[in-house]
Structure 1
Amino acid sequence: MYEHILVPLDGSENSRKALDVAIKLAKTFSSKLSLLSIVDNRNFAMPATAAAAPNSSYSELTSYAHDIVDDGLKTVKENGLDAETIVTQGYPKSVIATDVPKKNNIDLIVIGKSGRGAIDRFIIGSTTAYVVRNATVQVLVVNDDA
C-alpha cells in the first residue's frame, strides 16, 4: 500500500513518536523509509551586501540535523529495517509538503502533531498543519501520548 514513507524529524518527542509509527507501517507494508531533517535557511537570509552568515552557527545547525537523522536511523536499524537519511536546507513547510515527496517518490508522510518551533507556530502556523493542507501525498499525523 505504501511504498515509500517520509518521516520529518526535528528532535522533538512527537517526531520520535511519528518515527515509531512509520517503522510499524514500514514493517507491515515492506515500505522504504526516508528520514528527513531540515536546516531552516530563513535564519541565514541576508542582503548581498551583508556579511555571510556565521559559518559556525550554520555548521552547528547542520551538524544537529545530521545527529537527528543518525539517531533516527539507529532506531530504525534496532527495529530490523534500514532507511535513507536526508539532510537539506530550505523552508521546512514546503520541503516536507512538496519538495522532498516529489523528488523522492514519497507516497506517505508520517509527521508528529507538533515539533520544536513553538514561536514559529504561534506567528505563522504549525508546520504540520501546513503539510496537511498542502502535501502532494497522503499524510498521517501522529499525536504524542502526553
Structure 2
Amino acid sequence: MYENILVPLDGSKNAQKALSVAIKLAKTFSSKLTLLSVIDNRNFSGNRSVVNTAPIVTTDEITELSKYSDNVINAGLQVVKDNGLEAKTLVKRGYPKSIIATDVPTDENIDLIVMGKSGTGALDRLIMGSTTAYVVRNAHVQVLVVNDD
C-alpha cells in the first residue's frame, strides 16, 4: 500500500512518536523509510537583502544547527536499525514547510508522510503557522499526523 514513507525529524517527542508509527507501517507494508531533517536557512547571511547584510545566524550557529540535524538523523536511524529495518537519510537546507510537503516527496517518490502534530519550532508556529498544518494543506501525497501521548 505504501512503498516509500517520509518521516521528518526535528528532535521533538512528536517526531519520535511519528517515527515509531512509521516503523510499524514499514514493517506491515514492506515500505522503504526516508528520514529527513531540515535546517531552516532563511536567516543565514547568504539569504539577506543588500540593504541589511549582517547575518542573523553566525557561522558557529550554522555549524551547531548542522550538528544538531546530523544527531537527530543518526538517532532516528539507530531506532530504525534497532527495529530491524534500514532507512535512507537526508539533511536538507531551506524552507522546511515546502521541503517536507513537496520537494522531498517529489524527488524521492514518497507516497506517505508520517509526521508529528507539533515539533520544536514553537515561535515559528506562532508567527507563521505550524509546519504540520502546511504539509497537510499542500502535500500531494497522504499525510499521517501522529500525536505524542
The bucket for the TM-score relative to the shorter chain is over 0.9
Name the SS of the counterpart of 1:72 in structure 2: helix
Matches of 1:80 and 1:48, distance apart in 2: 50
Aligned to 1:84: 88
Task: Work out whether 1:30 is the aligned partner of 2:34.
Answer: no
- Deviation track 1:14-58 (CA, whole Å, cap 9, x = no partner) reads 000000000000000000000000000112132347256522111
May I ask how many residue pairs the two structures share in their alignment? 145
CA distance in 1 between partners of 2:119 and 2:102 (Å): 19
Output the TM-score relative to the length of structure 2. Answer: 0.94
User: For 1:43, what is the secondary structure of its paired residue?
Assistant: coil
Provide runs of 4+ in structure 1 moved above 3 Å: none
For the aligned residue pairs, the C-alpha RMSD in angstroms reads: 1.2
Letter in 2 for 1:11: G
Aligned residue for 1:55? 59
Is 1:121 the equivalent of 2:125?
A: yes
Output the CA distance in 2 between the equivalents of 1:107 and 1:133: 15
Amino acid at match of 1:60: E
